[in-house]
Amino acid sequence: MQETQRSADVLSEEGSNSAKRRIMSGMRPTGRLHIGHLFGALGQWAQFCKTDEAFFEVADLHALTTAFEHPEQIRHNVVELVLDWLAAGVDPARSAIYVQSHVPEISRLQVLLSMIVPVAWLQRVPTFKDQIEQLGGEIATYGFLGYPLMQLCDIAIVRANTVPVGKDQLSHLEFGREVVRRFNHLYGPTLVEPHGTLSEFPDVDGTDGRKMHKSYGNTIDIADDDRTTEKKVRSMVTDPQKIRRNDPGRPEICPVFSLHELVNGPRVPWIEEHCRSGALGCVDCKSELAERLNASLRPVRERRASLDAAQVDEILADGAQKVRAIAVETLADVQTAMKI
């Protein structure tokens, strides 16, 4: 108990504070993030830094489960990802920002926990089947099968109780909780059962009207410049029934309007009314959106541009150190419980 208390203090200047949740989340370094990430997950992450103990991991080993044939992009993507996080206001002084592979205790925990995980539990996780259907049998590796277990180890190694994730990750958390329960049942209470929390934000529409997603090529990126944003907004699909300027539009099905709702606060009712009446044409509506988007992204982009790779390295070294202080304790507890 003493031990756990000591580790809890690593991140909180005020000393132990039991009201704080311990938050852990991560992303795979697969490229630049878009405004869906910014207004959804990252906005929340920046808040957690102020209110909770927070751990944010760049999951490079998870990236390797699918990119093992082309690993050369991963390192570059790690830096890009952290720059996006920092630009969005994730505060390295009030959280731990680190790379998964810099914390070897995660992988050691994975070997130990793998002993008690029935293969059938992993095979029935829905993302496993879906990904194999999408990407082919090539990725049906031992490492990929273990993806949700590795994710649990990310969470369990820091004894996080709260894990903010997207809907698609809830099955991984459910799996993780089952593993924790099995462990604690076999060896006595050792690991913390983590709970998932969903982002309050709905999915953001992409430029083509589908959900904004990197693999659809319909994103507006945090790191885009003003002109690129403008071009992307100009190319956006709108209500197909609104052909000429004075045609009435249906904002509820228009992705341009849905982005206005995200960034154009007080002007939204005016835009809705004038789109519906036909008074507002799509060209003007898009110009205003591009302007608003660029204005609200400006501070984020400026912060991003003011940071360099050397600063990122420093932040990551510091983050790994903070996490490892806790990770070695968790691993020791697990080894003791497993009599090894």
Which residue, 28 or 301, has its beta carbon nearer to ligand TRP? 28
Q: Does 165 bind ligand TRP (CB under 6 A)?
A: yes
Minimum distance from residue 42 beta carbon to ligand TRP (Å): 13
Number of residues that bind ligand TRP (CB under 6 A): 14
Q: Which of these ranges, 45-53, 83-91, 161-169, 247-255, lies near ligand TRP under the rule CB under 6 A?
A: 161-169
52-71: contacts with ligand TRP (CB under 6 A) = 57, 59, 62
Q: Does 155 bind ligand TRP (CB under 6 A)?
A: yes
Minimum distance from residue 331 beta carbon to ligand TRP (Å): 17
Of the candidate residues 11, 23, 27, 49, the single one contacting ligand TRP (CB under 6 A): 27
Q: Does 24 bind ligand TRP (CB under 6 A)?
A: yes
Q: Does 151 bind ligand TRP (CB under 6 A)?
A: yes
SS in 3 state form for the chain?
CHHHHHHHCCCCCCCCCCCCCEEEEEECCCCCCEHHHHHHHHHHHHHHHHHCEEEEEECHHHHHHHHCCCHHHHHHHHHHHHHHHHHCCCCHHHCEEEEHHHCHHHHHHHHHHHCCCCHHHHHCCHHHHHHHHHHCHHHCCHHHHCHHHHHHHHHHHCCCCEEEECHHHHHHHHHHHHHHHHHHHHHCCCCCCCEEEECCCCCCECCCCCECCHHHCCCCECCCCHHHHHHHHHCCCCCCCCCCCCCCCCHHHCHHHHHHHHHCHHHHHHHHHHHHHCCCCHHHHHHHHHHHHHHHHHHHHHHHHHCCHHHHHHHHHHHHHHHHHHHHHHHHHHHHHCCC
Of the candidate residues 67, 81, 163, 316, the single one contacting ligand TRP (CB under 6 A): 163
Of the candidate residues 7, 66, 169, 218, the single one contacting ligand TRP (CB under 6 A): 169
Q: Which of these ranges, 26-34, 35-43, 72-80, 131-139, lies near ligand TRP under the rule CB under 6 A?
A: 26-34
Query: Which residues form the interface with ligand TRP (CB under 6 A)?
Result: 24-28, 57, 59, 62, 151, 154-155, 163, 165, 169
